[in-house]
Chains A and B, each alone.
Chain A
Amino acid sequence: MRLGNMEEFWTFGTPFLKYERSLARHFKLLILNIKPLNSDYFQWQLLICGHFIFRIAAVSGAVFARVAMGTACDLFGPRLASAALTLITAPAVYCTAIANSAASFLLVRFFTGFSLATFVSTQFWMSSLFSSKVVGTANGIAGGWGNLGGGATQLIMPLVFGLIHNIGATKFTAWRIAFFIPALFQTLSAYAIFFLGQDLPDGNYSQLHKSGDKHKDSFSQIFYHAITNYRGWILALTYGYCFGVELTIDNIIAQYFYDRFNVNLHTAGIIAASFGLANLFSRPGGGILSDIMAKRFGMRGRLWALWIVQTLGGIFCILLGKVGSLGVSVAVMIIFSIFVQAACGLTFGIVPFVSRRSLGIISGMTGGGGNVGAVLTQVIFFRGSRYSTETGITLMGVMIICCTLVIMLIYFPQWGGMFFGPSSEGTTEEDYYMSEWNSAEKERGIHMASMKFSENSRSERGKRVGSAPSPTDGTPSTYV
């Protein structure tokens, strides 16, 4: 039983769930947006954070956290996994208020960064609750509104800080107090997830495990099937060039407008925030587009849409580096942000179908790919003075277009790829998803969830459903 059509989607109450999930992520992103706190004390600390070694450590930590989160979701369910991660990292946010040296600040920021792995559990959760027909939309809204939090905090945190400062605290104390706000929200959202959330339409993992409806899977099997699926690696690479690019732009765009067009810092901050705020509709838009394409053209439609949108994003990125006037630059940036964020939404319209058994780890790998892409791009194009920022942006656009080409290599035997139709051997969805289970496991009957999913995913054939071959296990229909 899955939430299928749009009516169920909106009435089940899971929109609330999605909102609460995105709230949870919103407050993680708060920690990343400490730039608005202009206290001199803080700015000095931030400079230290630019150190190369810290960046490497942060990225490896982030990738590890996402893959570990994916594994935890596969084994324990997204509800417990994300509530646990949120609560474990809440102390890091509380302790930001008492950090008083570069080292302690780095540690606090590093550990808070782990909480961003709830992105993986969000996408996993949405993929588990919603059926193939609306999974793109669900993932897009949850992911988009979560990223939106990152942009919104650039506007909210300075207000919170200003409020506390006006009440009477000195600046150096006010920012410390300000960090209690996201920390408290983080704790509260963990509570909300635990008490109000539900892993699957049928119930929670722990209950289903005990009642025998869901079997506890083995980590080594899940891991093996995730890393041997080449589609997961391809999507990790392409996600690095949509979400990774989004993260990179978040970091450099305010400085770019400040330096190149001489706007004041406050205006540059607003322009930068609007880049993130586009997530309100652009990433969900990508997800919705993915579902619309799937309805007509199936998985091939999803793949084509992703390639076209991400390539267009690359083209507008090249343009962004080339335009010389402020107004046109802002306009191009907004169009670019819409395409890049829609590409993120489209990616997670495809990820739920790559693997059923290892959905968590595949989601984690893709998410981790985003972070690696971000750091790689920043290191190649935006470090030091080898390239001016505008040249860096243009070259980044070229790299987006090149790395997006690999989508052409993705091929699902049951649905086809960008240039080829489904396999002539008549491979079905069951064949594809059952290949992740061996016969001993099938005998124990623990593959039933994948069976249910493969039936559900038949919608990925597009409008040709009527002409598809019948499953090899079923009896062919006979004329009467």
Chain B
Amino acid sequence: MAIQGFLVVSLLFSCLAATSYGEVTFSSLQESLIVTASPKLRQVLKAGEDNIIVSWSFNKSLAAGTDSSYKTVKLKLCYAPVSQQDRAWRKTEDHLNKDKTCQHNIVTKPYSSSNNTFTWTVERDVPTATYFIRAYVYNSADHEVAYGQTTDAHKTTNLFDVQAISGRHVSLDIASICFSAFAVVSLFGFFFLEKRKAKVSQAK
């Protein structure tokens, strides 16, 4: 009898665990943080050089105690819709494990309801695109429970741009040109050698 009871309870418990462990969707998250960032509208930042100062805090107009389960905050750089067009690898999906909107991490910090700020130098591997910043809040089980972002629900306001590095270096340029010149010179060398071989065989 006790064993049966135990089995039923553990079955119920595992079902519950399964549902809570299930995929978290973006639409289930509450927007409870206010996030602001230093770039002005459509300002162009250079990757590897310019800074972004991000500040975030709990939205005080919401009921107190809403943030009791909040443990950590992760800030990410996210693509604006204009930079997602025709690019399936940046697509927005409701299921957060499949969502590819936010691919660049800025910082992860323990949660505190106010006075949070961070200065981030835009990293060198950020591509040229239009962005906004979003903060995901995680509970102690490391699941997303809330978020906040610098833009509105349609992702049209407060967007800024990043200009990527070109990846070119002077050394690469020089190497390319030298090797190319070498190839062309070799070609002329081949023709010259060929003519000489032919003359030699004619002389024989």
Please list the residues of chain A having a beta carbon within 8 angstroms of any beta carbon in chain B.
38-41, 43-44, 47, 80, 83-84, 87-88, 90-91, 94-95, 97-98, 100, 170-173, 175-177, 180, 183-184, 187, 190-191, 194, 204, 206-207, 209-211, 265
Contact = CB atoms under 8 A, between A and B. Distances in A.
Interface string B156-172: 00000000111111001
A95 B176 contact: yes
Contacts of A172: 124-125, 127, 164-167
Contacts, number: 107
A176 B184 contact: no
Given A41-B127, A176-B172, 13 more contacts: A40-B127, A41-B167, A43-B87, A80-B191, A80-B194, A90-B180, A97-B172, A170-B124, A172-B124, A172-B127, A172-B167, A173-B172, A177-B172
B176 A94 contact: yes
B61 interface: no
Contact of A84 (B165, B177, B181, B187): B187
B-side interface size class: 35 or more
Contacts of A170: 124-125, 165, 167
Contacts of A175: 167
The secondary structure that dominates the B interface is helix
Nearest to A184: B179
A172 B124 CA distance: 9
A183 B177 CA distance: 12
Nearest to B174: A98
A84 B167 CA distance: 31
Interface of B: 86-87, 89, 124-125, 127-129, 164-169, 172-173, 175-177, 179-184, 186-187, 190-191, 194-195, 197-199, 201-202
A102 to B, nearest CB: 12
Nearest to A83: B190
B89 to A, nearest CB: 7
Contacts of A171: 125, 167
A40 B129 contact: yes
B71 to A, nearest CB: 31
Contacts of A180: 175, 179
A312 to B, nearest CB: 34
A87 B168 contact: no
Nearest to A38: B89
Nearest to A95: B176
Nearest to B87: A43
5 contacts: A94-B175, A94-B179, A97-B176, A170-B165, A176-B167
A385 B153 CA distance: 31
Contact of A210 (B87, B183, B198): B198
A98 B198 contact: no
A412 B17 CA distance: 77
